Amino acid sequence: MSNARNAHVEKWVKEVAEMTQPDAIEWCDGSEEERERLTQLAVDQGVLTPLNQEKRPGCYLHRSDPRDVARVEHLTFICTREERDAGPTNNWMAPKEAYDKLGGLFSGCMKGRTMYVVPYAMGPIGSPMTKIGIEITDSVYVVLNMRIMARMGAQALEMLGDSDDFNRGLHSTLDLDPEKRFICHFPEDNTIWSCGSGYGGNVLLGKKCLALRIGSYLGKTEGWFAEHMLILGVESPEGEKSYVAAAFPSACGKTNFAMMIPPDEFKGWKITTVGDDIAWMRVGDDGRLWAINPENGYFGVAPGTSNKSNPNALKCVEKNTLFTNVATTPDGDVWWEGMDGDVPEELTDWRGNPWKKGSKEKAAHPNSRFTAPMQNNPVLDDAVDDPRGVPISAIIFGGRRSTTVPLVLESFNWAHGVYLGATMGSETTAAATGKVGVVRRDPMAMLPFCGYNVGDYFAHWLSMQSKIARPPRIFQVNWFRQDADGKFMWPGFGENMRVLKWIIDRAEGRVGARETPLGWVPDEGQIDTQGLDLSPEAMRQLTEIDPAAWKAEFELQDELFDKVADSMPAALKLQRELFLSRL
Ligand code: GTP
Ligand code: SPV
Ligand code: MN
């Protein structure tokens, strides 16, 4: 494919080429020939290193610049005409200022480089929910990742047809200087400009930039939801199938939950994955909420992935996978902290330096990742390519909290559920640069991803209630409560099935519950702990609601209510009053 037929695309590509002045322009078609050729080019350029092809066919390692290993929230901007529309939780830059500033950086930046034009679809081809994006990039690593993460190439251009309705994404690594790193979103222009980074969420523009930041803006405008949520299917031994969507902040367990294998005590229960990071949800003709996964692959956290925690993720990365910033073994295989078996005596660490067992440094970067095609997933749900999506029975919000927040609870109603999601706190992780382990408010796990005023976002959530005749129930979970010695009290991973079963039973109206000031919680014995090494006392602590701790939590929520004061919907302020009076 040497020529695009779409005149709007051609015009824009020409404009960008005039600004960036590449030596060559390559239109990506997504073919196998193209994958092989660009992979070889990346190997020749030292961008990729082949791994042991017998052990991991089609797998390669990428080491990013050590200063470029995570999302950069302080360099991420929402560029709306009015500052108010970006809201109090986003960095704002005026569109003109951003276009001028980044335009200066982009000017001539592709001299001596090839400019790749990457058309892609977010969502199943032909789905009314699917959006088309085109990413222009000078990074062959981005092209190879995009072809795993999205439905990329000719199929996307074909779906676009003659339309002008596509996201214009422009990316250049420049020289990877952190001083020249900016991730700018122009929701009003359906445009993204990203420069100075080569890492994940900063540069795979279909993912966080389009599917969440621009997506959430489109969702508000068009009446749907773009959320940082996994989607999974649960089938009971009787063959009843339900779907749930769950929002956990970055590196807080979405991939793990989306692929989990139920414990032996749950014979006959089956979990299938629709998506592990992003859900787009709209109201169906039947009044239910229907969800698609706009992505086509997994950009998953490597450390902690083992046969014990997530065997299905390990199967996903057996072939045709790109690894970023993991460690390697002497025989050219991958390694990371938390992998099964003994720690190898010697490794090459994520920076490419020799590493010896017992070293205080981590061998793999804590935010090292794999990019794997979703077709590798042994428990991939049958409906992933269904243009209608799947009907959602329950929405789950979950943070990483070592104290205070109980294992599971159910909201009293939609508005209360929105309040639970909006006020959620979570400890920060390595997925973004900055300090790790600090509790911050992370509304709906969308703090870094909401592309407009977060108060308007809450209002959107509240207003959708009247449009969803058969709304999913809303739950909150916490897998991360710790004991006095700092050990996780709940076994987590596959054992989360025990909590999920209660959630499904509640959502389908099969069981009762106990009322507390916070919401409905499982009655004693409703969470099956058979076969777990968990004392009744530990279970009591995990599900305990301590009024003193919740008074303190309530104060912490002020941080959010103060910050968002100007745009906070009255209905959430009311929820807050109701909660305080119940407490
Ligand atoms: P992003 O891709 O950044 O959005 O992350 P994610 O939400 O998909 O997180 P992921 O499933 O990759 O898990 C991140 C980290 O949390 C890994 O180190 C996991 O081992 C750990 N983790 C996941 N689930 C559990 C759990 O149930 N209990 C505990 N203790 N840790 C978990
Ligand atoms: C996250 O940080 O939530 C991710 C990884 O899923 S990234 O694509 O880098 O945003
Ligand atoms: Mn994520």
Are 189 and 234 found together in one domain?
Answer: no
CB-based contact 185:151 (threshold 8 Å): no
In this structure, the answer to whether residues 210 and 100 fall within a common structural domain is yes
Q: Minimum mean pLDDT among 33-47, 383-397, 541-555: which range?
A: 541-555
Q: Are residues 538 and 568 in the same domain?
A: yes
d(CA 17, CA 299): 29
- Tell me which residues have their CB closer than 6 angstroms to ligand 2: 71, 200-201, 207-208, 250, 277, 299, 431
**CA 327 to CA 406: how far, in whole Å?**
36
What is the overall mean pLDDT for the chain?
A: 97
Whether residue 144 is found in the same domain as residue 238:
no
Same domain, 443 and 538: yes
Residue closest via CA to ligand 2's atom 3 equals 250
Domain end position, chosen among 180, 202, 222: 222
The answer to whether residue 332 is domain-embedded is no
Which domain-ending residue is among 222, 238, 257?
222
Question: Closest Cα to atom 1, ligand 2: which residue?
Answer: 250
Same domain, yes or no: 128 and 271: no
Query: Ligand 3 mean position to 368 CA, how many Å?
Result: 13
Please check whether residues 134 and 251 belong to one and the same domain: no
**For residues 474 and 576, what is the distance between their CA atoms, to the nearest angstrom?**
17
pLDDT value, residue 5: 81
Active site residues per annotation:
252
CATH of the domain at 29: 3.40.449.10
Intra-chain end-to-end CA distance of the chain, in Å: 64
Distance 444 CA to ligand 2 centre (A): 15
pLDDT of residue 1: 46
Whether residues 196 and 243 share a domain: the answer is: no
Ion ligand 3 nearby residues (CB, 5 A): 250, 277
Percentage above 90 pLDDT, the chain: 98
Pocket of ligand 1 contains residue 445 by CB under 6 Å:
no
Residues in Cβ contact with 439 at an 8 Å cutoff, skipping those fewer than 6 apart: 401, 425, 426, 427, 556
Which is the closest atom of ligand 2 to the Cα of 208? 10
Question: How confident is the model over 411-436, as pLDDT tens digits?
Answer: 999 999 999 999 999 999 999 999 99
61 touches 323 (CB < 8 A): yes
Which pLDDT value is given to residue 35? Answer: 98
Q: Tokens representing 111? A: 């001299």
- Output 411-414 pairs: Cβ under 8 A, ≥24 positions apart: 411/473, 411/474, 411/475, 411/476, 411/519, 411/520, 412/519, 412/520, 414/462, 414/465, 414/471, 414/474
Q: What's the pLDDT score for residue 583?
A: 85
Residue 244 lies in a domain: yes
Mutate to test the pocket of ligand 1, among 248, 256, 371 (most ligand atoms within 8 A of CB): 256
Q: How do residues 393-410 score in pLDDT, each as one tens digit?
A: 999 999 999 999 999 999
Q: Is residue 140 part of a domain?
A: yes
Q: How far apart are alpha carbons 460 and 443 in whole angstroms?
A: 13
Does 309 contact ligand 1 (Cβ within 6 A)? yes
Domain check: are 290 and 412 in the same one?
Answer: yes
303 Cβ closer than 6 Å to some ligand 1 atom: yes
Together in a domain, 538 and 503: yes
d(CA 26, CA 24): 7
Cα–Cα distance measured from residue 318 to residue 258, given in angstroms and rounded to the nearest whole number: 18
**Token pair in block for residue 486:** 């700092």
Do the domain assignments include residue 302? no
Query: Do residue 215 and residue 234 come from a single domain?
Result: no
* Contacts of 152 by beta carbon, 8 Å cutoff, 6+ apart: 28, 30, 118, 119, 120, 121, 146, 296
> Locate tokens 């214009």: which residue?
168
- Does residue 262 lie in a domain region? yes
217 plus 248 within the same structural domain: no
Per the structure, the complete domain to which residue 525 belongs is given by: 227-297+384-582
CATH code of residue 558: 3.90.228.20
Q: How many domains does the chain have?
A: 2
Query: How do residues 345-360 score in pLDDT, each as one tens digit?
Result: 999 999 999 999 999 9
Q: How far is the CA of 406 from the centre of ligand 3 (A)?
A: 23
Strands 182-186 and 191-195: antiparallel
Asked if residue 53 belongs to a domain, the reply is no
**Of 197, 222, 247, which residue constitutes the final position of a domain?**
222
